[in-house]
A and B are shown apart, each in its own frame.
Chain A
Amino acid sequence: MQRERDDADGPIGTEELERSMRAGRARDVAIILGVVAVTLLVVNSGGLVKWTQALPSAPHNAWLAERAAEWHTVMRRLGPAEWFEKLRERRG
């Protein structure tokens, strides 16, 4: 099968982007993921409760939902979750 190429073809890979970017370390991703996960768990604990409540009905999911609710209560008491909920309510 004969190949044919146009002027502008050749898949544009992310190579061209990467050429002008600096590669990092997988360890950096671990730190970023960790910080994101902890921040979301603290500030958006309400989202976790909502998610666990939407899981299919099963004993371990019920257990998970209870733990998430307890965690959310603590985060509300400490402040960040309540502050985020107020922002959300203001949005309407």
Chain B
Amino acid sequence: MVFPTLAFLLFFLVVWPHAWIAVWMRQHTLHKLVIIVASYVFYAFWDWRFAFLLAGSVLLNWGTGRLIETARGTPGQVRWVSVGVAANLLLLGVFKYYGWFSTEMNALLRTAGLAREIPLMEILLPVGISFFTFQGISYIVDLHRGDLDRARPLIDVLFFISFFSHLVAGPIVRAASFLPQLERPPRPDRVFVGLGVMLILWGVFKKAVVAHWLAVGLVDRVFFDPVSYGTLDALAAVYGYAVQIYCDFSAYSDIAIGIAALLGYRFQRNFNQPYRAETLADFWRRWHMSLSSWLRDYLYVPLGGNRGGRWRTYRNLMLTMVLGGIWHGAAWKFVIWGALHGAWLAAERMLEGTARNAALATPRPRWRRALAVALIFHFVCFCWIFFRAENVARATELLGALARPETATTLVSPWLIGLIAFGLAIQFTPPDLIERLDRVYQRLPVVVVGLLAALVLLVVELIGGDETAAFIYFQF
């Protein structure tokens, strides 16, 4: 079940009133059960067998939480945290990386002239496994660090990890920020309706119109067969993918946050106009913020962060970004993507002292800031080539197409250029735009808001694609 579809609308039209009726009846447990059952139905739409895997992951983390609580203040606490984190990583490793690992190992063994081979297995990748595993780790580590005051009952852990809104493609919700929300039922008089409705509609538009048409009209074709296209088509496809992945992934996050808001819950924001970043570190504070802050708090900091001197900081940045790359998928292209980001972040850190002093001495003129934004955007686009291409060889072909002196274009059209320009322009809208729109919303009668929402959906139905493709981040 994909968000911007009729099936999901019908699903939500059933779930939403039931969840609030339970609140109205003062049945908090029933309210949680409604959302948990709905979440498992939602998840089972992909493959009902994976619902058991999800439940198993919840039980694992809930059980580990109980053991940590029991062993608090003793050496056993650290042991249980290690066991819990290792079990989560093992689960992720088996389902996500076993196939890649065995293929690569067998190639290595063959090269070394050894006859023995690691058995290959076709393991289906459960949708959203990377997200719910990271949330499970967040529960265990937050409990261990004391960010979460106590282990939570099974029903709360079930709700936290399985909530359909964030289940399959994030945002990666933190235990310490979400679980306290489950202590009391959501208040029916404190629902951020304007925020929720606007985020959902904006998300639907970005996904069904911008991301859809860029994917089918340009990006998929060029990345499928880069050798058939010249410089302009290849360049447009790279820019197109930068806009497509932003409009696709931020759309999912917006809809997820909006749905949670309509049910009375609050998630982290996941995107904040990332392509206006002036440094790569700034980009990572704006792009997939829930993953980048997760990697920082649960990987970079435990590795030592910037506490062990310059070279250790560079090593930790590199390791964090390479592992962040591998989190996206088991392939060399993601390793390269992560390594490129890690190397640039390390280089920025290396130059940071000098740049900071210079910035303090003279405020950077506007043209230099614009140049910095353009530079970072193009570096990010270059890295996206590896991220999007089927494999490293295909990425190299696309780089070849970019270098080919052929300006004829077969795909670029005013419509596609317009979509790319739109996707870039929205990076520079006023940061408080949503607050301004909320003030407009407050002045409108609710029925008019409903009619406007319906109008937006009808316009999307008219100009969007006939079939809504799965979100890019479902595969991760």
Contacts and interface: CB of A to CB of B under 8 A. Distances in A.
B17 A30 contact: yes
Interface string B178-194: 00000000001111111
B9 A13 contact: no
A40 B438 CA distance: 24
Interface in B1-35: 6-7, 9, 12-13, 16-17, 20, 23
A23 B267 CA distance: 16
Contacts of A34: 450
Interface in B440-454: 442, 446-447, 449-451, 453-454
B194 A24 contact: yes
Contact of A24 (B191, B269, B457, B463): B191
Interface string A1-45: 111101011011111011011111111111111111101100110
A8 B12 CA distance: 36
A37 to B, nearest CB: 6
B348 to A, nearest CB: 13
A16 to B, nearest CB: 8
B103 interface: no
Given A13-B269, A35-B450, A39-B451, A88 B432 contact: no
B307 interface: yes
B268 A29 contact: no
A33 B257 contact: no
Chain A contact residues: helix, strand, loop or mixed: helix
A63 interface: no
Interface string B352-378: 000000000000000000000000000
Looking at B293, B453, B458, the one whose CB has the most chain A CB atoms below 10 A away is B458
B94 to A, nearest CB: 27
B447 A35 contact: yes
A84 interface: yes
Contacts of B106: none
A15 B458 contact: no
Contact of B195 (A4, A13, A21, A32): A21
Interface in A29-70: 29-37, 39-40, 43-44, 47-48, 51
A77 interface: no
B403 interface: no
B461 A24 contact: no
A18 B435 CA distance: 8
Interface stretch (B160-168, B238-246, B298-306, B420-428): B298-306
A32 B188 contact: no
A1 B192 CA distance: 36
A32 B434 CA distance: 19
A29 B193 contact: yes
Contacts of A37: 9, 13
Interface stretch (B66-74, B258-266, B325-333, B389-397): B258-266
